[in-house]
Structure formats: structure tokens, C-alpha cells
Amino acid sequence: MLSGAGAMALLGIAGCSTTETLDLPQLDQTTTGSVRPIRPAISVDKNITGADLMYASLTDGGFQVPEVPWQKVKPEFRRQIVVDQTGEAPGTIVVHLQERMLYLVQPGGDAIRYGVGIGKDGFRWSGRANIQYGKQWPVWTPPPEMIQRKPELVKWQGGQPGGLTNPLGARALYIYQNGRDTGYRIHGSPEWWSIGQAVSSGCVRLINQDIIDLYNRVSKKNPVVVV
């Protein structure tokens, strides 16, 4: 991505050969060490390595989280560090619905990016809010309107205990706006194949290994922007 006067000079003398006598170009003698980078280099993070390690099976909270067949997850939806293009302050969680991406803005110009699944048409929410709190292996309680659509969920009207089959997965971050619960969550999911799709009832879902990583990085009061 970096280019300089030296590179332009090389382009100027790399054309077709000719017998015409040319004046020698005036080369820029500035040392490369004094040239300021256009952007900071991508940082290194011990929890963002090879996909085989990031999505391996792990024991968490007494549960054995299954390995994710990461080869079946599109590369762009795997956890990675990218140049931040959100313009938001460090610590902000930005969910880009069209991209199916979640960004956690880092100091120094980077962001950690995770692939997400989002709500179906008619179930999405957007706006500015914040994470009020988070829970590990949370209880999931289907709202009454969901039970009306799916009567088989009546068995969980008092709450489904946390576990490997719980729709909220290994972690949940609860989104509040102006001090009120929006009803939307950023949470894990055992359905890794749904990442990148619009399948949920409005919440933002991540692979369980990714929501554990995100949960460990936030203060539980982070700003959230959904666009």
C-alpha cells in the first residue's frame, strides 16, 4: 500500500528501451525509515491465529464446545484483525448488517472483525445503544409472540437453561438504549452454518468461539452501533 518517490522514479525509467540520451533523474535521498506510514501496521493478537486453533473444541463453564469445521466458514467471516474503517472510538462495537460483520474498534487504527448472522426482514433493529451487561451460558426465554408463532416453544416459557443447544450460545451481551432493554442481544450460537445469513429473530449471532473471544474483550458497557 505504501508508495514513494523512489517507486515513481523506477516507473519513470522502466519503460521500453530507446537509444535517445536521457538526463538522469533526480533521486529522492530520503531514507525509508523517515517516511511516515499511511496507516499503522496491523497489530498482532495471541487470540487471533490460525482458524484451526481459533475454532478448536474447548471446555468452558463445564461444557465441551464442539469444534467448528472452519473450512466450511467463508474466510471473510472468520475472526481477524482489519484496518478500522468505522470512524468510531476504540471500544465501540459496530454491527454492519449488510456486510454481516461485527467490528470491535481497537486503539491505533485496527478493528477485530467477526462474521455474524442477523435478523430476518422485519425483525432487524438499528441505531446507537450500549451493552448494559453480559452473561455466560445465559438462560433463553422466548417472548410470547415467538411462542405464538412456534407453539412448541411453550415448554421454555419459564426459560431454557444455558447449554450447548441453547439459542443464545455460550455468551450474551444485552443491548440497552436510553436505559431501556431493546430486546436485542449479541450472542453465541451452536449453528455456526448460519453465520453470514439473515435467519434470526433480530439478534446478532456469532460462532460460540467468537462470542467467547468478544465477551472477554468488552467491559460490558461498550457503545454499540448497528447500521
137: left (phi over 0), alpha (psi -120 to 50) or beta: left
Give 140's DSSP letter.
B
16 is catalytic: no
Q: Which of 112, 187, 209, 224 is catalytic?
A: 187
Grid cell listed for 212: 467467547
One of 203, 207, 211, 226 is an active-site residue; which one?
A: 203
Cα separation, 67 vs 57, whole angstroms: 4
Q: Is 60 exposed, middle or buried (0-12, 13-18, 19+ CB in 10 A)?
A: middle
The set of cell numbers assigned to 38 is: 499511511
Q: How many helices (H) and strands (E) does the chain have?
A: 4, 13
Query: So which residues are the catalytic ones?
Result: 187, 203
